[in-house]
Amino acid sequence: MKQYKKDFIELLVQADALKFGEFTLKSGRIAPYFLNIGSFYTGELFSKLGEAYVEALQDSGIDVDVIFGPAYKGIPLSVVMTSILYSKHNVNKKYCFDRKEVKEYGMKDALIGAPLDENTSVIMVDDVITAGTAIRGSVETLKKNGNPKIKGVLIAMDRMEKNNDGIGALKAIEEDFGFPVFSIVNLDEVIEALYNQEVDGKVYIDDEMMEVIKKYRAEYGV
């Protein structure tokens, strides 16, 4: 496992963004783990989060003009990534994000930030994908607003789960739209880094939690 991935997993638990226990997801599933990017609410933590996204983007080899952040969690991600790319790597990219609701006054544009057209290459950034509903909505938004070339989707963690149709959520997106979905880390890597391993004196995945995760993956995993 690359060092930035290991560092990111440790950062997730240190920030209390990756939790283990019992969590009801939007899909109705009862999951033994939950990722909340909203836990990165300090300048230090969010800068480290942005650095991890930038590392993963550069590791992918994908070059784009614009980083697109779907509302809401993708918005600050797109901003911090462009800032870090310029300040630490001297790479000048643009960001863009959408509104949940178009205003009835002032600037009524559906998108804020860099203008998009058919020649613009874009990567979308978000936290996780479960069923893929949000990403599909963003694809439709982009089609209606410049129709840029989507080069891929970057998320924090691949839960490695099936969608509601019983197909791998990320694989379904890739097959439907023809662009890759990649993550900073996936669940296998999280388990590798945390199972019976201490982070700041605490074991987050012990034998008992590992058994719960195995049962959940037997039903929903890919």
Model confidence band, residue 165 (pLDDT cutoffs 50, 70, 90): confident
> Mean pLDDT, to the nearest integer, of 27-31?
86
**Number of domains composing the chain:** 1
Residue 79 belongs to what domain range?
3-220
Distance CA 63, CA 60 (A): 9
Lowest mean pLDDT: which of 104-118, 165-179, 201-215? 104-118
Q: By CB neighbour count within 10 A (0-12 exposed, 13-18 middle, 19+ buried), where does 67 fall?
A: buried
Give me the CATH number covering residue 73. 3.40.50.2020
Lowest mean pLDDT: which of 23-27, 90-94, 129-133? 129-133
Distance CA 197, CA 215 (A): 21
The reported pLDDT for the residue numbered 102 is: 61
The reported pLDDT for the residue numbered 106 is: 46
Asked if residue 105 has pLDDT above 80, the reply is no
Asked if residue 19 has pLDDT above 70, the reply is yes
